[in-house]
Copies of this chain bind each other. A is one copy, B any other.
Amino acid sequence: MARPLRVAFYGAGQVSRNAAEILRRRPGIEVLGPFGRGERDAALGSGADVVVIATTSFLSDVADDVRDAVEAGSNVITTAEEAAYPWANDAAAADRLDALARSRGVTILGAGLNPGFAFDALVLTACGVVPEVESLLVERVVDVSGFGETVLRRIGVGHSPESFEEGRRAGTVTGHIGFPQSMQVVAARLGVAIERIDRELDPIFAEQGLAASSLVVNPGETAGFRQRYAAVSDGRLWFEALFTAHVSPQAIGQEPRDAITIRGPHGGVNMAVVPGMNPQSGSASIVANSVRRVVVAAPGWTTVADLPPAVPR
């Protein structure tokens, strides 16, 4: 019998715990951790077949962790949103880690539901049935009521109008992170050069009190937000991403959904997932389902555009 595939988790948050739980039920996989920040060496130095780094959203915060896991001989999956397309944030660091991974014969992948699936892998898959892509529209409505308080405050929920505005200016209220990364993944694969990406982030205020699992939103505070990212290529709108997050989408007459519109010859494609993909179990599943594909992938820092589907196995 083949030896089990060893998967170590660094970061003890929700995604790590859920993905580890999924993998523990699968034959042929041995799970190490999840390890918290105080057990860094146990995780990154484990030499496991795959190290999953699920700690923060930012490339600069995970770069050294990725390096250390690669140097210990492990393939790396990280949920850091900026890692979905690291060249968008720090091309030099991305190239350096890419070269290191190639020299060690391992693969690095930024994986998750968003970025990593809803606005990129699924979009590219749907593009398969059109002869050319004129433009793209992806809309996602998410119920974030199950998110932890720290994440909710950072993305923009539970703020007074002033606190939201101040946080947005200071960069402490970010909205959801990862849309430019998804757009760059799609653009790179389609051979499209993005000129610029316009961004909007607008608060949605609660008209009545609303309870999320980790906080209560009072009337007048932000219960959610809308984001619009618009990538321009060749002087015209090429990829528009509309994202609505809310602790109670029903309260604003919306239901969680994912919709992809590909405009092209012969009517393009209109695809919808209703109800929308579950942000928690979806993210954890994509991470768990990426373990086997990352082990057999070509060495280097790769993206979901170059990989076969992540599947539960």
Contact = CB atoms under 8 A, between A and B. Distances in A.
Nearest to A293: B306
Interface string A131-170: 1110000000000000000000000000000000000000
Copies of this chain, complex-wide, total 2
B278 A274 contact: no
Sort chain A's interface into a size bin: 35 or more
Nearest to A270: B274
Nearest to A122: B125
Contact of A133 (B190, B267, B312): B312
Contact of A190 (B25, B132, B313): B313
A130 interface: yes
A310 interface: yes
Interface stretch (A59-67, A225-233, A281-289): A281-289
A223 interface: no
A132 B312 contact: yes
Interface of A: 22, 25, 113, 117, 121-122, 124-133, 189-191, 264-267, 269-275, 277-278, 281-282, 284-286, 288-289, 305-313
